[in-house]
Structure 1
Amino acid sequence: MMRRTWAGIVAGAVGTTALNTVTYLDMAVRGRGASSTPEDVVHRLSARTHVPVPGGAEARENRASAAGALLGILTGVGVGALYGASRALPWRPALPLAGLATGLAAMAGSDLPVALLKVSQPRTWRPADWLADLVPHLVYGAVTAAAYEMLRREPMAYRQPKGAPP
């Protein structure tokens, strides 16, 4: 079970890189700015827990931005770990369905805190907003599932060509 979980962690990191790549490509193509949502989540968590983000104004904003990005990485790696652990269960859906479920789980893992902390209300999002959120998460799910399966395959035995010295 631990090997599966570790493979899931690595796969989740690969999927997170894919999600970030798709997000930055979207920003580059459409010329849109970065979302302030991750750092807004950090500020809301800070206020709710009464644990201030330390430093002066600029340092506080930089730390909140970094902490928001780290929460995204933690979500991606955590969902990957759950994916790996879940592959030990008797029911293992086919790769496309597993990737879809993993992408939607990651999306829920990032959107639920946003909604619960009232940083944003997904019910008010336009279709373009949902698409901008959905596509990177679906890519995350597909890449995470594929990376996990590649990591879990047994390596092919090395075969020397006939006549080669041992």
Structure 2
Amino acid sequence: MPVEAVTAPGGIATEATTRAPKQTMDSEVFMHLLVTQLRNQDPSSPMDTNEMIAQTTQLASMEQLTAMAKMDEENFSLQMRIAAAALIGQTVTYTNDEGVSVTGTAKSVSYAAGVPTVNINGEDVLLDRISGVVDGEAAQTPDVPNAPAATA
């Protein structure tokens, strides 16, 4: 719907603003609905106090669930960052765009994108594309069967 400029009595043109509808139900929308319900209730049959308490409890529960979901998202992001940082110096394997398995040493980590990227042999690889990790020392020392144990 196009919005036309409106000329005020003093000759100043102003634009009418349109309000975008909310796509999610938050506490503001919930409270607005509750207040509207109270304003428009039938005076001969007012809202039951138990029903009002139940709706207020639902609001509190919704706010807590929203806060927990946000916290879970932040925790997952932090876990990805920690996991990516722990890969530095490790020998890792990932599958490149051609479908070939590549092994190399993780040199650095970048948190610029939504998913951390690990620099492996000069190639930036998304953390979720890494398919394996080998300890740096284990990768340098080959397993030799029946080899004598090293003594200090």
TM-score by length of 1: 0.29
The higher-RCO structure (CA 8 Å, 6+ apart) is 1
Structure (1/2) with the larger strand percentage: 2
Larger Rg: 1 or 2?
Answer: 2
User: Higher helix share goes to which structure?
Assistant: 1
* TM-score normalised to structure 2 length: 0.31
